[in-house]
């Protein structure tokens, strides 16, 4: 909203600002900044926090299982490669 206020002089255009800066979930997934998008329950997480937390826990568990068994050195190498690669493929 702050960015929208600066760019468009209208805090109501927060969605437009997020899309312009490519910080929407689909953009972050496409550029590999994030691994997955955790779906919210119908109506939003605030309406069904238990279901929202269950979805987040399931996604986190899956992510941790992928990393299980890796040495600290492997984890650091993978993290470094991932962050260095951000933006290389174009936005």
pTM over 0.95: no
Tokens for 11? 């805090």
Residue found under tokens 């987040």 = 56
Displacement of CA 70 from its chain's centroid (Å): 23
pLDDT, tens digit, for every residue of 18-50? 888 777 898 889 888 899 999 999 999 999 999
Category of 47 on φ-ψ map: left (φ > 0), alpha (ψ -120 to 50) or beta: alpha
Instruction: Say if residues 14 and 1 touch (Cβ distance below 8 Å).
Output: yes
CB 63: neighbour CB atoms within 10 A?
11
- With a CB cutoff of 8 Å and minimum separation 6, the contacts of 51 are 41
């Amino acid at each position: 909203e702050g960015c929208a206020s600066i760019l468009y002089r209208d805090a109501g255009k927060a969605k437009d600002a997020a899309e312009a800066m490519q910080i929407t979930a689909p953009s972050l997934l496409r550029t590999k900044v994030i691994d997955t998008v955790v779906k919210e329950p119908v109506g939003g997480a605030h309406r069904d926090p238990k279901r929202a937390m269950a979805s987040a826990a399931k996604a986190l568990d899956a992510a941790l299982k992928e990393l299980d068994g890796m040495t600290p050195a492997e984890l650091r190498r993978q993290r470094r490669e991932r962050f260095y690669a951000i933006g290389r493929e174009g936005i």
